[in-house]
Amino acid sequence: MFNGIIQYLGIIYNIKQTRNITTIFVKVSKNFIFNLQIGDSVSNNGCCLTVTNIYHNNIISFDIIKHTLEMTTFKTIKLGDLINLEKSLKINTYIGSHIILGHITDTAYIVRITQHDVYISIWIKLNNIKHMKYIITKGSICIDGVGLTIDQVLKNKFSVNIIPQTLAKTTLYLKRINNSVNVEIDIFIKTIVHITEKFLKNYLYKFFKSI
């Protein structure tokens, strides 16, 4: 479990591919690797991955199975790319954003970037339009591992505002129009929508059956 506060920007140092698994090797800082152990969970651009090895030169590796590769932007990852990293939360950790599971809901692409005086607005369009039912104004959203608040919602896209601090500490400053991002829908909104839909479906079924 994570909270969308990025701790470090890692660099893709190497990529090894086999038939069923892609292994990425990420260069990190000595501080980030401190207390990290094989088997720990780390959010990589919002995707929860397990540390498979830790090397002496501050490189950590993660295995990505085929399903995860297809569901995320890791299918287009390349050497030298920067990625947002966050270690998993501990029970006594202060939560400064919102609860993030590291399970990518969908990928999306950037359709517009607007520069304001001290911040930017990024407009995002989900690849699966059906997921728009979970997008609500002032709701929470996770973009490439960054916990953000939804600002505006239109029929097929939504916007988030990025303050200078977030731009300086994450890969969002690198984003351009048509770039792809990983998106995780807020689990609480998703659960509420599913429960409501199920309730209404059962209620309407019983109602029309009684007529």
The domains found in the chain, sorted by start residue, are 8-87 (2.40.30.20), 106-188 (2.40.30.20)
Residue 54 confidence (pLDDT): 96
Q: Is the pLDDT of residue 99 over 70?
A: yes
Helices in the chain by DSSP H: which ranges?
30-33, 66-71, 164-169, 187-210
Higher pLDDT, 99 or 94: 99
pLDDT of 79 over the 70 cut: yes
pLDDT tens figures, 171-204: 999 999 999 999 999 999 999 999 998 888 887 7
Q: Which residue has the higher pLDDT, 26 or 92?
A: 26
On the question of pLDDT at 163 being above 90, the answer is: yes
Closest Cα to residue 120, out of 155, 70, 172? 172
**pLDDT over 80 at 211, yes or no:** no
Reference 143, options 113, 185, 177, 98; nearest CA is 185
| Mean local confidence (pLDDT), 86-112 | 88
> Is residue 101 pLDDT above 80, yes or no?
yes
